[in-house]
Structure 1
């Protein structure tokens, strides 16, 4: 089996990187954080026009007609730039929520027992409770928003609200909730992969530019070892994520999410180590990747659940 990317897949990845660089560069990312980290309506519509949310819808339904591997490539690029908003939930529910495919509607993720991100911007909620899935919108969503309480978020790019438990949700049942959770976990793993790669790049760039004792710090063995470990984590996670995108196997998806979470969190921590004290300052971007990685690690499929799935797959 050939796991090399096709020319079309490479072009898709390059096009998404170019789009995000032009529409959501560092200045715009920082402006979004200063504005509370919410979803920007204009940017959301631009992403919809670019086909991000309709990527996997069939062409007969107005979609792009691509598959899970292509979505993984796109969300890999999304993870590099700290793009805010519930992009995964919106793509997964694009066929069920009017306007979601075009970027005219935002679909947030609600998981039992966890705060909801970007609730204030949501036009619908994808509610996951175990392997069951529901879609909440309209008056039921407005009532839920009225009962929600804002909570402090670890990630400044993801405002959070505490909402009633699963018994408080109404909504329309969705088929195959287990598949939605698996695919969401894989796309979250792709975002973690992109974040891990970006942390690696930032560490290497800083190690080359920063000098101590008359030499770049990248020439010091301890820093070399940190960067080498970051590369190993990234490429190990990449192999797992790309393979799971092709097979869509539940056990492989669990392994991919576990490895990608470890790569994103571990690389951001080591990148902070390379940057030293300046990495913890608000002006640096390193800590933002760490905070987003921590948050993503608790979404769609936690480490404990992924480990249980892997253990069950060995039986």
Structure 2
């Protein structure tokens, strides 16, 4: 069996990367961090026009007609650039909530007692009664906490928010973030010099960068495989690996950057904070671990 990406899949990934490089480059990321916290509705509509949200809708329903493996590739690219907004919820709402597929409507959802981008959302799935704002470590993921129901899980009555698919798409974002921080670390290790040599020539730095590559590739392989099988246990395992890769790679990238990595001007801390938030959303580690353990 050939698990390599097809020509169409590579073209899809390249097209999304080109779109995001044009519409959400680093200066746009920094502007969003320093802005008023509003979601860029123009970018949201452009994502809709490009098929980001309608990717898995049948063509007969106005969608692109692709599958979960292609959606994973798209969300991986979103994770690379830290694209903000309730991407997973809006993607899953396409074809269910009018306007979601086209990017005309922003959809968010309750998950595990948390809801992101509540003030900017047009539609919220799940009960947000008693929602209170909480301080988010990620400046581009505003959060509210809502009381958990006494019976059933938060948002359990909403069929569009399947935990497995949401968890896998979140895992794909984590893989994209892990890959980005690994590349950032390597680039810095090549350009930063100490004692007359690039720090990338030092064995300790080489080991950090090699470890980042291994974690990212293992997580990516798990996410891609789970997208093909759609097996709930494999998805849970992929989410665990992707969460670990995103957090660990960001930490190691920060280490490679040294003291500069702790400053606001470095992007690595944004990746670390987003990875922390994603780790608690859409199949947290506790839920994923229980899913894997139950199958052993």
- After TM superposition, the score normalised by the length of structure 2 is 0.95
Deviation at 1:36, TM superposition (A): 3.9
Q: Aligned residue pairs: how many? A: 295
The answer to whether the 8 Å contact 2:51/2:102 transfers is yes
> Equivalents in 2 of 1:148, 1:82: separation in Å?
25
2:35 corresponding residue in structure 1: 35
**Is it true that 1:217 corresponds to 2:199 in the alignment?**
yes
Post-superposition CA distance 1:233-263 (Å, at most 9, x none): 0000011000000000001001100000000
**Is it true that 1:150 corresponds to 2:149 in the alignment?**
no
The answer to whether the 8 Å contact 2:111/2:154 transfers is no
- After TM superposition, the score normalised by the length of structure 1 is 0.89
> Equivalents in 1 of 2:228, 2:280: separation in Å?
24
**Is it true that 1:51 corresponds to 2:35 in the alignment?**
no
The answer to whether the 8 Å contact 1:38/1:157 transfers is no
Name which of 252, 260, 263 aligns with 1:278: 260
2:123 corresponding residue in structure 1: 124
Structure 1 unpaired stretches of 5+ = 128-135
2:269 corresponding residue in structure 1: 287
The answer to whether the 8 Å contact 1:55/1:67 transfers is yes
Deviation at 1:191, TM superposition (A): 0.2
Question: Residues 166-181 of structure 1 correspond to what in structure 2 (within 5 A)?
Answer: 166=149, 173-175=157-159, 180-181=162-163
> Equivalents in 2 of 1:175, 1:157: separation in Å?
27
CA separation of 1:247 and 1:237: change in aligned 2, threshold 3 A: same
**Is it true that 1:313 corresponds to 2:295 in the alignment?**
yes
Question: Residues 108-257 of structure 1 correspond to what in structure 2 (within 5 A)?
Answer: 108-113=108-113, 115-127=114-126, 144=129, 147-166=130-149, 173-175=157-159, 180-257=162-239
Deviation at 1:126, TM superposition (A): 2.9
Deviation at 1:172, TM superposition (A): 11
